[in-house]
Structure 1
Amino acid sequence: MKRAKSKWVAMTAAVAILAGCSQTAEPAPAPSTAAKPGEQPKPAAAAEPLKLQMMVPSYADVPKMDDEYWSEYQKRTGTKLELQWVPSGDYDTKFDLVMASGNIPEIIVGNSLGRPTLMNAVKNGAFWDLTPFLGDFSKYPNLKKYAAPKAWDFLKVDGKIYGVPRNRTQIDPSLKIRKDWLDKLNIPVPTTVDEYTAALKKIVDSDPGGNGKGATIGLINEGFLLASADQPILAAFGGFDPAYNSEGGMIHKNLTPAYTDLVAWTRKLYQDGIISKEFLSIKNTQAEQLFTTGRVASYLRNIWRDYSFEQEIKKVQPEAQVISLPPLKGPKGYAIWLQPGTLGAFYISKQVPEAKVKQILDYFERTMTEEFQNLAYYGIEGVHYKVVDGSPQLTDLGKKQITANVQQPLPLLFNDWAKVVNPAASKAYNDAKLKEVQVYAEKGKFDPFAVIFSDSWTAVWPKYENEWKSMVSKAAMGEISMDEYKAYVDKLNNMPDFKKAYQEFAKKYKEYYG
């Protein structure tokens, strides 16, 4: 996938800015900086503010909508926002409940394009078909110009467009590790999955942080299995490569041999005490707290957080050094999880009058610009940031108000470096970090099931998802054998409904990628 570049980045190599999403946690990435710092969007010409109701994920403290940033944002967009903030870790659950209730706000964020509840809602007419409104995009040049590659194709259901893409980056999350602990134990920086696993085992056994016997955790993340932390390892096992059955159907990644290898790998971590015994019940905030208090060796989050995490850990362990690991070579790929360039989309409830649908699309067109992207990431010059050595540096108020949440009502612009740089770090640090992770784009792959979908899968998977999760958990914790787990997967894969879904996946994959 072609990567977009910023003219400002091309000129300066890196700009220190506030650094997304998702599928795993969404950070505040760096903005597109083609516009000069200090150049602000022009206020929208509107007699009265446009009232917009939105349900959006929250990745920070819920903001006050009358603070300096949000007051300015609503003034410049000509809107009165009524935002329903849902904690990011609970968002999918809340989304499913809203879809079931039918009480859908005017605009709702769908984080996963292929989520069964979302697809069912689209099929059942819960959202506006935007195709006739968008037409050839002649009225919406920004929506066309600044969207991620293939974004509008990814959003199509039966050839129709039902959402406005939430544009993000390709290079985003990384597996982090405590470099100071590696150095203390004379462990080279791992370059393979096997070396990584061995390093975590030695760290747990040696307790270089002085946390006490059994108190140091090797790898942590939140939710089912290892949540997002398992995705780069799945990539290393070949899980993002198409896997076909004997009939030419494309098997869903959850039921491939690669995912079985991931379960076996997690089982070994569990047996060796590398992951917490309670790993299935850990929440996002708890995982982050354990890492930033010096209890954890490795954690998957956005790259820009390396510097912030390091500064937090230094408060309790002054020698702390956090790095993003280089691409770890696995049996069938590298442990790099690229993003497709979008983090879901905005969907407009069919209960919204047609005239207001046009107003909402105008809002997205008006805000999908470099000027509004800068406003979202910098805030107001002299209030939220100052220009230091040619780079915007957030003030204390900026650090408080310009969080990841300011992005949520915006479609943003596609770029490939926004989740890397950190405004609190020096330009030299950010330049080095940008250079360091460019190899991710060369070695990594993204999950095709983030963008392709199947009607049959949407119908059948909810019937088995909880049962499958239970089997995965039992296999990972050693409660059933891997042979029992494999037999269960084989049973699902041989069901007619699953085979039908795999044919649809194959067709959609070919449609997108040839």
Structure 2
Amino acid sequence: MTTSRTWTASVSGVVALSLLAGCGGNDGQSQTPGAAAGAGNTSKPLEIKMFAGLYNEVPDMKNAFWTEWQKRTNSKLDIEWVPDGDLNTKLDLLLASADLPEVLAAPSAVRPTLLNAVRSGAFWDLTPFLGDLSEYPNLKNNLAKDALKYLTVDGKIYAVPRSRSRIDPGIKIRKDWLDKLSIPVPKTLDEYAAALKKIVESDPDGNGKKDTLGLIGNEIIVKDADPSFAAGFGALDPTYNAEGGMIESRLTPQYSDAVAFYKKLFDDGILSKEFAVMKKTQAEELYKTGRAASYGRSVWWDNEWETAIKKVQPDAQILNLHLKGPKGDAIELQTGVSGGYYISKKVPEAKVKELLKYFDQTASNELTDLAYYGIEGIHYKLVDGQKVLNDQGIKEVNTTSKGAGVLAYSKWGKVESASGSKAYNDAKKKEVEIFDEVGKVNPFNYTVSNTWNSTWPKYENEWKANVTKAIVGQITLDEYKAYVDKINNTPEMKKAYKEFTESYKSFTGK
């Protein structure tokens, strides 16, 4: 029977990686590959045990969407759904346990614990299976540029991608509140800060109180939007130390400038006081209930969130800002690959080939369309040529429904709302189309360093604590910068930065 499970236990502390190479064998019989599905197909479904992220409510794997997905792929999915806010912690625990499922859907290909597991022999090297991709036409033709290159470790491909659009996060603001208070749309980070200050000092929701939040922070500053703000200060630009080592973006002088910006927002009552401890689900709920002016998440949430806010504030309108900082546009682009699907070495070789055929099928335009819109007449209807989700579609076809397959690359995949009208989506695409031209990809989304992976965990929690202390004023900015300089000047970090330089050169040719 198809099943889904979630992990909900709270975990704290640092988990040490104690993964044994090889991870044992599996004598199970291989199943018919999902790609063999079709009318009249009587082959046994391909059973897949998978670990994947949960971004909505726990799905009913017997609902119309998942029934159709499994029918078309001739698969039987047993998925361990892990809530987004706990995903990295649970991922680290899973890797440390060495008790891996057949397929692990990882949201990042450069997480140190994952890279350590790869090098320890936990996952199959897919390079010889994929070859020239002639047996996998969808993986060959439907992925973002360099998609498989982003999933290489030491020159070998260890995963197939979770395809996502380059345009993804946006720094959002309540456009209706700007209009109500006669505030021009901000064009710079300074104008943005000034606009939010005026909003929090006013009563934009008309409840008779000045209790509106400015920028919602969560999980160390502003989570998804942090790289966008950092880009405005130049922190995503390759930055080198005196020895020619490429400094990790969060430890650059430019990022320290971004910390100073956050401190000003905090001092002015703009950045939410709970920014360091607030969970993503809490932050999202605050925004959806009209409590805050600004937040940073994927553009495609806008229509759903506007609809929610309009229940209490009928004129709600969300705008994604194109802001310029002192050293660049405050826009982060994705690589087109949001982590990947890794196959455990416990899986027998014959089944690896079947899993790859399944993933190739999920990269087809047909399966991608299903993942974004579901089934016509059940999940959506056509309105002016636009597929618009109905209530059942909104419930069943969402971020989580895209978590069991590669999908074809879609430029507007994280912009268009499946529940929005054609006019709404056309306007939203026009709103953010320049992002693809002026935004920047963080080079540390694809460069790797073995030394960094073993060294950074020793400092990460302390660094996060010092960022928080600097923003709330428990230490001065000069003390924070001195702390960063101390880290950067350790022999281990200098070695790591040299390795980043070589990795960057190898990937880009620059």
TM-score (norm 2): 0.90
1:84 aligns to 2:76 (yes or no)? no
Question: Does the CA contact (< 8 Å) of 1:386 and 1:393 recur in 2?
Answer: yes
Partner of 2:348: 353
Once the two structures are TM-superposed, the CA of residue 213 in structure 1 deviates from its matched residue by 4.5
Is 1:494 aligned to residue 489 of structure 2?
Answer: yes
Give runs of aligned pairs for residues 4-83 of structure 1, distance below 5 A: 42=38, 45=41, 47-83=43-79
* Matching residue of 1:468: 463
| Aligned-partner Cα distance in 2 for 1:130–1:45 | 28
1:9 counterpart residue number: none
Contact 1:221 1:229 (C-alpha < 8 Å) held by counterparts = no
Change (3 A) 1:129 1:204: same
Contact preservation (8 Å) 1:230, 1:262: no
- Cα distance change of structure 1 residues 426 and 497 upon mapping to structure 2, 3 Å threshold: same
Letter in 1 for 2:166: Q
Of the structure 1 ranges 223-232 and 208-217, higher mean CA displacement relative to structure 2 is found in: 208-217
- Specify the SS of the correspondent of 2:487: helix
Partner of 1:459: 454
Q: Deviations over 1:4-56 (max 9, x none)?
A: xxxxxxxxxxxxxxxxxxxxxxxxxxxxxxxxxxxxx9459461111100000
Cα distance in 1, alignment partners of residues 308 and 203 from structure 2: 19
Alignment match, 1:215: 211
8 Å contact from structure 1 (residues 46, 78) kept in 2: no
Separation of aligned partners in 2, 1:229 and 1:494: 28
Say if 1:278 and 1:478 are closer, same or farther in 2 by CA, change over 3 A: same
2:282 and 2:158 map into 1 onto residues whose CA distance is 36
The answer (yes or no) to whether the contact 2:388–2:420 under 8 Å persists in 1 is no
Contact 2:227 2:236 in 1 (8 A): no
Counterpart residue number, 2:301? 305
Instruction: Check whether the contact 2:217–2:274 (CA below 8 A) recurs between aligned residues.
Output: no
Question: Quick one: which of 231, 244, 247 aligns to 2:243?
Answer: 247
CA contact (8 A) 2:171 2:296 kept: yes
* Correspondence for 2:375: 380
Tell me, what secondary structure is at the counterpart of 2:484?
helix
Query: 1:152: how far off?
Result: 1.2
Q: How many residues align?
A: 473
Letter in 2 for 1:473: T
Match 1:366 to one of 361, 366, 371: 361
In the alignment, residue 250 of structure 1 is paired with which amino acid? M
Instruction: Report the equivalent of 2:89.
Output: 93
- Matching residue of 1:428: 423
Counterpart CA distance in 1 for 2:153 and 2:418 is: 39
- Pick 1 or 2: higher relative contact order, CA cutoff 8 A, min separation 6: 1
* Partner-residue secondary structure (3-state), 1:279: coil
Name the SS for the 2:201 alignment partner: helix
Measured in 2, the distance between the counterparts of 1:398 and 1:135 equals 38
Q: Aligned equivalents of 2:191 and 2:39: distance in 1?
A: 54
State the alpha-carbon separation in 1 of the partners of residues 254 and 38 from structure 2.
51
Give 1:442's match in structure 2, choosing from 414, 421, 437. 437
Q: Would the aligned equivalents of 2:166 and 2:334 in 1 still touch at CA under 8 Å?
A: yes
Contact 1:44–1:77, Cα closer than 8 Å, also in 2: no
Give 1:207's aligned amino acid.
Answer: D
Where 1:281 maps in the other structure, the secondary structure is: coil
Rounded Cα–Cα distance in structure 1 between residues aligned with 2:208 and 2:458: 44
Gaps of 5+ in 1: 1-40
Q: Which of 392, 405, 412 pairs up with 1:410? A: 405
Match for residue 267 of structure 1 among 263, 266, 269 = 263
State the AA in 2 paired with 1:292: K
8 Å contact kept, 2:390–2:419: no
Cα gap change, 1:178 to 1:274, in 2 (>3 Å): same
Q: Which residue of structure 2 lines up, in the alignment, with residue 35 of structure 1?
A: none
- The answer as to whether partners of 1:367 and 1:411 remain within 8 angstroms in 2 is yes
Specify the code of the residue in structure 1 equivalent to 2:120: N
Q: TM-score, normalised by structure 1?
A: 0.90
CA distance in 1, matches of 2:264, 2:361: 51
Q: Are positions 1:287 and 2:283 aligned together?
A: yes
| Match status 1:485 vs 2:466 | no
Which amino acid is 1:359 matched to? E
Letter in 2 for 1:105: P
Match of 1:333 among 302, 305, 328: 328
Query: Which of 133, 137, 143 matches 2:133?
Result: 137
Counterpart residue number, 1:169: 165
**Corresponding residue for residue 395 of structure 1:** 390
RMSD: 1.4
Structure 2 alignment gaps of length 5 or more = 1-36
| Structure 2 match to 1:320 | 316
